[in-house]
Every structure is written in structure tokens, then in C-alpha cells.
């Protein structure tokens, strides 16, 4: 990758941005080098995760939010990353998303990127993080990340966001309970979309009860919904005081979108004032370093220690001749001696 391409990205060239995103997504050497350089220019973007079950209206909501953010903040740029691991690039929800997102295409300050596959960069969360770093460096002030609220990988994806919006629709209490058990805890804002349908107020009440229960429980346990970021406790003084608001929207009619946008911007202000913006940034940097450290230590280890040794130790352990701990000690000793030799 040439520095000309990076410069073009810095100047707002969309083609350059698109090419760099692809390089990063494919994990090419050039892409990784670009990411390293661009990282130094990140730290500004407000990352907003939108999650919820398929069909709840996430894409419609993201579309409306992008428009409203641009209307309120005409000098700011909006990126959208649509993460859908379940659907192949050619079909399913993503195609629908693309069609629906078409009406954003006239705005050159909005950039949409769909991501359907796990690329070279390990998990979806890492991939999403890398792409949002590129957007961040390219001067995008808001990065909206849409993901299906289905499993751990989606929780990981939204964990990298500053603000997590969980979208639900009116339905039976049973529905809500089964979908939201784990995901409610990560919500900063709850949205009951399709508020034009019957049962909205029951949904709101139900969510409210669940939030209050969960909130009381987390306070009793001495933790709160940002417990993942406890390592930076000195910044957390005001952290337990954001109670996730519940908003009603009709995304396809643009109803409730101004209010939602207001709450999103308030949440960003709250994060900055309480020190949590800083704490989240630090936590994600810590996680990033740890991840790369583990990967590179493991790579070293695999180079230093022959697979035969590992295999024979596995056999010894299976015979109950030695414990797994003993096997680890042998491997670490071998690794240490071997890397000392090679570095002399
Ligand atoms: N009645 C109603 N339909 C909506 C609303 N928001 C979105 N939809 C429709 O619900 C369907 C699924 O929306 P989509 O945004 O693709 O959901 P996603 O799968 O969560 O991204 C589409 O046909 C939308 O037009 C809403 O507020 N009310
Ligand atoms: Mg969608």
C-alpha cells in the first residue's frame, strides 16, 4: 500500500477508503501496515452498536439515525458497518439492507460497509474493531455498527461500542424474556421499534421491570453493566448512574428518531464526563494488546517447541503418568531454553 493511498484517505477520498477497508478486511500485509499507521490517528469516533433480533428494524433504524445525525451535525461524517455473520454476501438480509440503504447514497458524508464473513483477522469483533479504526482515522465522527443480537460474537461486537442500543419489538412477554436475558445487560439504550403495532406499552413495562431487576442485582453484587471495564476503577466514580432509557420508535416513519439521537448524544456526553469514555478506550486498548501478545507468544512457542514433544506429553498425561500442570512446566522450560539458545 502506498502512502499516497493513505493520504487520499485522509483527504476524504472514498475510493481510497474503500480499498483500505478491503485490505484490512482481508488481513493483507499492506492492510495491517495501514492499520498500524492509521491507529495513531484514531480516538475521535463515537462508536454506536445497534443490536436486536432479525426483522426488528435495525437497518431501518440505522438508516434513520444516520440521516438525523447528519441533519443535526452537518459537519460530521457517519459510517455504517452492517455485520451479519449468518448471511452470505449475496443474499439474505444484507441484500435487503443494501437496497434500503440506497437512499443514503446521495450523501457523500455517509459511508456504508457490509461485512458478512469472518475475515483474516480472527473474530468478528476484531474485524469490526479494525474497520471502525479505519473509519475513525478517515475522519468519521460516528460509526454505527449493526449486528444481529444472536450470540457471544455479537455481544463481543457491541462491546467495542461506546453506546449500545438494543432494539426490540412489541410482542409477548415470553418473546422478550427469551431474547433479552443476556443482551439487556449490555444495553445503554433500549428501543421498542415498530411502536405502531399493538402491545408497545406492555413491552416497555416489561423491559423496565427487567432493567430494574437487573440493575438492583448488579448493585447488590457490587458491579454494574460495564463490569468488563473494571480494571480502570479510578475513572469509574460516576459510572453506575446511567440507567438505560427506553424509547419508542417507528423507524420506517422516522418517528422517535430525533429523541433517540438526542439520547445517544447525551450518552456520549455522560461517558466523557464520568470518565468512562477514557476507561472504555483504555480497556479496549488493553484487550487489543493482550490479544496480540497472546497470538505472538503462541506463534513463538509453536516455532520453538516441536509438535512431537507436545504430543508425547499429551500421551503421558492421558496415561496419568504426569499431570497437565507438569506437562505445561516441561513445555515452558523447553520453550525458554530453546529461545535463549536461539537468541544468543
Ligand atoms: N410496522 C413497522 N415496520 C417497520 C418499522 N421499522 C422497520 N420496519 C419494517 O420491518 C422490516 C424489517 O426491517 P429491517 O430494518 O430490515 O430489520 P433488521 O433485520 O433488524 O435490520 C422491514 O420491512 C421494515 O420496513 C416500524 O417501526 N414499524
Ligand atoms: Mg438489518
pLDDT beyond 50 at 307: yes
Among 49, 57, 114, which is best to mutate for testing ligand 1, by the most ligand atoms less than 8 A from CB?
57
Provide CB contacts within 8 A for 311, sequence distance 6+: none
246-248 and 142-148 beta bridge pairing: unpaired
pLDDT digits (tens, 9 = 90+) for 25-51: 888 999 999 999 999 999 999 999 998
Confidence of residue 299 (pLDDT cuts 50, 70, 90): very high
pLDDT recorded at residue 177? 47
Residue nearest to atom 3 of ligand 1 (CA): 194
How many A from CA of 228 to the centre of ligand 2?
A: 27
Give, to the nearest 10 degrees, the angle between helix 324-343 and helix 276-304.
Answer: 80
Residue nearest to atom 19 of ligand 1 (CA): 55
pTM of the entire structure? 0.84
User: What is the C-alpha separation between 101 and 23, in angstroms, rounded?
Assistant: 23
Residues at CB less than 6 angstroms from ligand 1 = 54-60, 93, 96, 193-194, 196-197, 250-252
Q: Are 145 and 128 in contact (CB under 8 A)?
A: yes
How many A from CA of 59 to the centre of ligand 2?
A: 4
How many A from CA of 97 to the centre of ligand 2?
A: 6
pLDDT beyond 90 at 320: yes
Residue ranges of domains in the chain: 41-292, 305-343
Among 49, 50, 53, 55, which is best to mutate for testing ligand 1, by the most ligand atoms less than 8 A from CB?
55
How many A from CA of 249 to the centre of ligand 1?
A: 11
Please state the atom number of ligand 1 nearest to the C-alpha of residue 62.
15
Confidence of residue 341 (pLDDT cuts 50, 70, 90): low
Q: Which CATH architecture has domain 41-292?
A: 3-Layer(aba) Sandwich (3.40)
Amino acid at each position: 500500500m502506498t502512502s499516497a493511498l493513505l493520504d487520499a484517505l485522509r483527504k476524504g477520498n472514498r475510493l481510497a477508503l474503500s480499498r483500505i477497508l478491503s485490505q484490512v478486511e482481508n488481513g493483507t500485509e499492506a492492510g495491517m501496515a495501514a492499520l498500524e499507521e492509521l491507529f495513531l490517528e484514531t480516538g475521535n469516533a463515537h462508536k454506536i452498536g445497534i443490536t436486536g433480533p432479525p426483522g426488528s428494524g435495525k437497518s431501518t433504524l440505522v438508516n434513520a439515525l444516520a440521516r438525523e445525525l447528519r441533519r443535526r451535525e452537518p459537519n460530521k461524517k457517519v459510517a455504517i458497518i452492517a455485520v451479519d455473520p449468518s448471511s452470505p454476501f449475496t443474499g439474505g438480509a444484507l441484500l435487503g439492507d443494501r437496497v434500503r440503504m440506497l437512499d443514503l447514497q446521495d450523501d457523500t458524508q455517509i459511508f456504508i460497509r457490509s461485512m458478512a464473513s469472518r475475515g483474516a483477522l480472527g473474530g468478528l469483533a476484531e474485524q469490526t474493531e479494525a474497520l471502525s479504526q479505519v473509519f475513525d482515522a478517515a475522519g468519521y465522527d460516528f460509526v454505527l455498527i449493526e449486528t444481529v443480537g444472536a450470540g457471544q460474537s455479537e455481544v463481543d461486537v457491541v462491546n467495542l461500542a461506546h453506546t449500545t442500543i438494543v432494539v426490540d419489538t412489541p410482542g409477548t412477554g415470553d418473546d422478550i424474556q427469551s431474547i433479552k436475558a443476556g443482551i439487556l445487560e449490555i444495553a445503554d439504550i433500549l428501543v421498542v421499534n415498530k411502536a405502531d403495532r399493538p402491545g408497545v406499552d406492555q413491552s416497555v413495562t416489561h423491559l423496565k421491570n427487567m432493567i430494574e431487576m437487573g440493575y438492583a442485582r448488579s448493585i447488590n453484587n457490587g458491579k454494574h453493566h460495564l463490569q468488563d471495564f473494571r480494571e480502570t476503577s479510578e475513572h469509574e466514580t460516576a459510572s453506575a448512574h446511567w440507567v438505560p432509557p427506553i424509547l419508542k420508535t417507528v423507524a420506517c416513519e422516522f418517528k422517535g428518531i430525533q429523541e433517540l439521537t438526542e439520547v445517544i448524544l447525551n450518552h456520549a456526553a455522560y461517558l466523557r464526563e464520568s470518565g468512562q469514555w477514557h476507561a472504555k478506550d483504555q480497556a479496549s486498548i488493553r484487550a487489543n494488546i493482550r490479544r496480540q501478545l497472546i497470538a505472538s507468544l503462541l506463534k513463538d512457542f509453536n516455532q520453538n517447541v516441536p509438535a512431537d514433544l507436545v504430543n508425547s506429553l499429551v500421551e503421558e498425561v492421558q496415561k496419568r503418568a504426569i499431570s497437565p500442570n507438569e506437562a505445561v512446566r516441561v513445555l515452558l522450560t523447553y520453550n525458554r531454553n530453546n529461545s535463549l539458545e536461539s537468541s544468543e
